């Protein structure tokens, strides 16, 4: 998670209407949805708010140090996690000072996330295999990696199939390591995005947090309308009063990022020493 520093290149003009929210407020229900049997799952994920279709999806965010670039790569590949067949989504993150030049950015994190959807269209998150650069040592670290069914970790729901305002749900659970929660704030948020020159209505707005990082809150927006090219069209992170704008910018960055075409995992392009 990153704090905000305006960067004129991005020139994002985002207007979010009819919000009328506070970071707290009464929540209608804490959902306790039991993990279904493996036969009730599919890796063809077409949840209206979180569709994980084959393709690539690039995002750019403002940070206090410059820019953060993310790219999701979905090939349709699968992996068995805790006895469940899951869809593998590769999420790579680059960090750079110049938002105009992704080729000068540094690959900072390379992750495989594992998802599957149940018969009620709930999208479950089964964990992540991740490598990143330790800022203090410069060495590669797999801190944050976890898999459902290992060391007491449990899958959680990253997106509800039929969300209702006030629903509260567990997104992942590994005691003292990964304890993310989500809550539905509204289903009719409106979002306009300068890059796409588009306005979206009936967007799902969520509040996401973890008790492991008190005070850090994300407000995210998911828009299921025609023209939404990929998962999580746009979201805004609100962190301790700061706001980070994150926006979909297309299927790629317009130029190859370092290590972007490297099929290996963990990526050999990570500028750190593997343990």
What DSSP letter does each residue of 145-214 carry, written as one string?
A: -EETTSTT-EEEEEE-SS--TTEEEE-EEBTTTB--EEEEEEEEEEEEETTTTEEEEEEEEEEEE-TTST
Using the Cα atoms of residue 245, residue 226, residue 194 and residue 203 in order, give the sign of their dihedral: negative
For the chain, the first-to-last Cα distance in angstroms comes to: 25
User: What is the number of domains present in the chain?
Assistant: 1
Q: What is the pTM assigned to this prediction?
A: 0.84
| Structural domain includes residue 275 | no
| Structural domain includes residue 268 | no
How many CB atoms within 10 Å of residue 231? 24
| Structural domain includes residue 271 | no
- Per-residue pLDDT of the chain (275 residues), as tens digits, is 333 333 322 222 233 333 333 333 344 568 778 888 888 999 999 998 888 989 998 888 877 778 899 999 999 999 999 999 999 999 999 999 988 899 999 999 999 999 999 999 999 999 999 999 998 888 999 998 999 999 999 999 999 999 999 999 999 999 888 889 999 999 998 876 665 677 778 889 999 899 888 878 888 888 776 655 555 555 555 555 455 667 777 889 999 999 888 888 988 888 888 87
Q: Are 180 and 163 within 8 A, CB to CB?
A: no
Residue 32 belongs to what domain range? Answer: 14-250
| Structural domain includes residue 151 | yes
Token look-up 């980070």 returns 244
Q: What is the CATH classification number for the domain harbouring 104?
A: 2.40.360
The residues with which 31 forms a beta bridge, in sequence order, are none
Q: How far is CA 37 from the centre of its chain?
A: 25
| Structural domain includes residue 273 | no
């Amino acid at each position: 998670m990153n704090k905000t520093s305006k960067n004129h290149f991005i020139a994002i003009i985002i207007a979010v209407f009819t919000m009328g929210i506070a970071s707290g407020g009464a929540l209608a229900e804490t959902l306790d949805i039991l993990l279904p049997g493996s036969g009730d799952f599919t890796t063809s994920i077409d949840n209206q708010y979180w569709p994980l279709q084959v393709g690539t999806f690039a995002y750019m965010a403002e940070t206090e140090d410059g820019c953060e670039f993310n790219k999701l790569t979905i090939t349709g590949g699968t992996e068995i996690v805790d006895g469940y067949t899951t869809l593998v989504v590769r999420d790579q993150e680059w960090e750079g000072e110049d938002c105009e030049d992704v080729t000068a950015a540094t690959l900072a994190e390379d992750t495989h996330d594992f998802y599957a959807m149940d018969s009620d269209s709930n999208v479950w998150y089964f964990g992540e295999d991740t490598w990143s650069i330790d800022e203090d040592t410069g060495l590669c670290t797999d801190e944050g990696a976890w898999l459902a069914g290992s060391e007491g970790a449990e899958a959680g729901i990253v997106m509800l199939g039929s969300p209702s305002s006030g629903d509260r749900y567990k997104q992942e659970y590994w005691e003292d390591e990964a304890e993310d929660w989500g809550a539905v704030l509204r289903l009719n948020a409106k979002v306009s995005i300068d890059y796409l020159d588009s306005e979206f209505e009936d967007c799902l707005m969520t509040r996401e947090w973890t008790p492991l990082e008190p005070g850090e809150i994300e407000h995210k927006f998911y828009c299921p309308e025609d023209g939404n090219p990929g998962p999580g069209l746009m979201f805004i992170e609100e962190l301790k009063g700061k706001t980070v704008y994150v926006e979909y910018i297309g299927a790629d960055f317009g130029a190859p990022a370092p290590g972007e075409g490297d099929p290996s995992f963990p990526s050999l392009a990570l500028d750190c020493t593997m343990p």
